[in-house]
A = this chain, B = another copy of it.
Amino acid sequence: MESACAPPPGSPSCMCVGFLQKNNSMEERTRMVTSFKERTAKNLQLTCDDNMGGDARFKRSENDFSNLFARVNVSLFVFSRFTYEIAPVFVLMEQLTLKKMREIVGWPDGEGDGIFSPGGAISNMYSVMIARYKFFPEVKTKGMTAAPRLILFTSEHSHYSIKKASAALGLGTENLILLKTDERGRVIPADLEAKVIEAKQKGSVPLFVNATAGTTVYGAFDPINEIADICEKYNIWLHVDGAWGGGLLMSRKHRHKLSGVERANSVTWNPHKMMGVPLQCSAILVRERGLLQGCNSMCAGYLFQPDKQYDVTYDTGDKAIQCGRHVDIFKFWLMWKAKGTVGFEQHIDKCLDLSAYLYNKIKNREGYEMVFDGEPQHTNVCFWYFPPSLRSIPNGEESRERLHKVAPKIKAMMMESGTTMVGYQPQGEKVNFFRMVISNPAATMSDIDFLIEEIERLGQDL
């Protein structure tokens, strides 16, 4: 209870307001409530006026924590967010931060809608639900039998959450069509168009295309503009799964990789991935207002009373498939206040620099082979390591079989010795390879050097 930090009455520069208490006098209460209303909007802002660079989205954020009004309210309102009255500060933080994210996506004036959800898989699930509601709202009441056969499209390299959503939402995984990718894991737009036409010829309705911005394994960015052209031509919902790659929107150097994202109908963006916010913090952003609410609202009388004393449009909870929600926004908002937009940009540029360092270190190094050519688009560096005993064996089935076992063995030894850990997986016809992903800007070039030393130390006798 921080009433001790309540300022002297009338102090114009007071930076915190104190808890409302049973024993506050009526004057104190009035002052507190008024101050709350006046100060909240101002103090939650994520940017201030000193312009840095030409792009208004990259103004330096405030990092003066003395004005964090919210800090004295946090413990009071920490529990849930279905109604404004239960978590007023967090509702405002969420609205403001979502608007800022939409501005960065490139939607005019940050207009649109959105909500924070418990992870990218659920955000992607929202996107499918909203697309279905947009084109076939009667499914909400009548079920999937009220709609024709609906088809979803996504890259063969996309995250498995699109498939999970197709199963959960009653569309069926067989109605999710996988799109071919080029050698670097990017969707081939011509394959999308061919498959859209094929689906229509079969009497199905192409509903939804997912373009991935930053695939899980290769870190590939699908060509959003070319995909958007096809979606517009055939009137299909375009979702961009930027769970992993959305963070690059914060970097003036790298955001071109998401060129066209502003044409999407919805975007998943997980600050808990590339931006370093502790898990969970994922946003689903929607270009058209009202769909989230229309899709999910049930207007429970015990939560959403129309006769409340405040503007009930702030009761954002009915947009969610959840009821109470974890307060994911606070971590993100606080980091943004502390680091600023430019701080996130530096974080991201640093990670991409490190992955470029790793790529350049091993691309011509003896015993290594890159899984795809050229510098990775994201921080995913995918490579095979050939122990000395494998280097003289000609390419063939035996070599493939032995190589397939190398990464699991080295990873197991890494875990046993506890020095480092790096993931591996096969992909399509390709046998197990290492996938090094960097999202921690505290990593250094010497950490990268150590990783390579460890792989060679542990793998030399395999």
Binding site for B on A (CB under 8 A): 20-22, 24, 26, 29, 32-33, 78-80, 85, 118-122, 125, 129, 139-146, 149, 159-161, 163-175, 216-217, 272, 278-280, 295-296, 298, 300-303, 305, 307-309, 320-327, 405, 408, 411-412, 415-421, 423-427, 432, 435, 450
Q: How far is the CB of A402 from chain B (nearest CB, A)?
A: 13
A-B contact sample (8 more), CB < 8 A, given A140-B172, A216-B300: A29-B419, A118-B122, A118-B322, A122-B321, A141-B174, A143-B144, A160-B298, A168-B168
- Determine whether the beta carbon of B321 is less than 8 Å from that of A79: no
Instruction: Offer 21 A-B interface pairs, CB within 8 angstroms, sorted by A.
Output: A29-B416, A85-B421, A118-B325, A121-B321, A141-B174, A143-B171, A146-B172, A160-B298, A164-B296, A165-B321, A168-B168, A168-B321, A169-B170, A170-B170, A216-B300, A279-B325, A279-B327, A280-B326, A302-B435, A305-B424, A305-B432
A325 partner, pick from B80, B280, B295, beta carbons under 8 A: B280
Q: How far is the CB of A80 from chain B (nearest CB, A)?
A: 6
Q: How far is the CB of A275 from chain B (nearest CB, A)?
A: 14
- Determine whether the beta carbon of B29 is less than 8 Å from that of A322: no
A26 to chain B: closest residue by CB: B417
With contacts A323-B161, A419-B22, A420-B22 taken as known, whether A140 is within 8 angstroms of B121 at the C-beta atoms is no
Query: Which 4 A-B pairs have CB atoms at the shortest separation, nearest pair first?
Result: A170-B170, A20-B418, A143-B172, A309-B412
Note all chain B residues with C-beta closer than 8 A to A405: 307
CA distance A411 to B296 in the complex (A): 27
Identical subunits present: 2
Q: How far is the CB of A229 from chain B (nearest CB, A)?
A: 28
Note all chain B residues with C-beta closer than 8 A to A118: 118-119, 122, 280, 322, 325-326
- Determine whether the beta carbon of A121 is less than 8 Å from that of B323: yes
A119 partner, pick from B21, B166, B322, B415, beta carbons under 8 A: B322
Q: How far is the CB of A364 from chain B (nearest CB, A)?
A: 26
Q: Which of A129, A298, A435 has the most chain B CB atoms closer than 10 A to its own CB?
A: A298
Q: How far is the CB of A54 from chain B (nearest CB, A)?
A: 36
- Determine whether the beta carbon of A423 is less than 8 Å from that of B302: yes
Note all chain B residues with C-beta closer than 8 A to A419: 20-22, 29
Q: How far is the CB of A442 from chain B (nearest CB, A)?
A: 12
Q: How far is the CB of A139 from chain B (nearest CB, A)?
A: 6
- Determine whether the beta carbon of B298 is less than 8 Å from that of A164: yes
Q: How far is the CB of A94 from chain B (nearest CB, A)?
A: 15
- Determine whether the beta carbon of B415 is less than 8 Å from that of A279: no
CA distance A327 to B170 in the complex (A): 28
Q: Which of A33, A143, A325 has the most chain B CB atoms closer than 10 A to its own CB?
A: A143
CA distance A118 to B412 in the complex (A): 32
With contacts A144-B144, A168-B129, A308-B408 taken as known, whether A326 is within 8 angstroms of B326 at the C-beta atoms is yes
CA distance A55 to B165 in the complex (A): 43
- Determine whether the beta carbon of A164 is less than 8 Å from that of B302: no
Note all chain B residues with C-beta closer than 8 A to A432: 305, 307
A295 to chain B: closest residue by CB: B167
CA distance A21 to B417 in the complex (A): 9
- Determine whether the beta carbon of A279 is less than 8 Å from that of B80: yes
A405 to chain B: closest residue by CB: B307
- Determine whether the beta carbon of B172 is less than 8 Å from that of A29: no
A417 to chain B: closest residue by CB: B29
- Determine whether the beta carbon of B322 is less than 8 Å from that of A278: no
A279 partner, pick from B142, B278, B307, B326, beta carbons under 8 A: B326
- Determine whether the beta carbon of B119 is less than 8 Å from that of A323: yes
- Determine whether the beta carbon of A119 is less than 8 Å from that of B168: no
- Determine whether the beta carbon of B416 is less than 8 Å from that of A33: yes
CA distance A347 to B339 in the complex (A): 41
Q: How far is the CB of A270 from chain B (nearest CB, A)?
A: 9
- Determine whether the beta carbon of B173 is less than 8 Å from that of A216: no
- Determine whether the beta carbon of A119 is less than 8 Å from that of B278: no
Note all chain B residues with C-beta closer than 8 A to A160: 298, 300, 303, 323
- Determine whether the beta carbon of B305 is less than 8 Å from that of A418: no
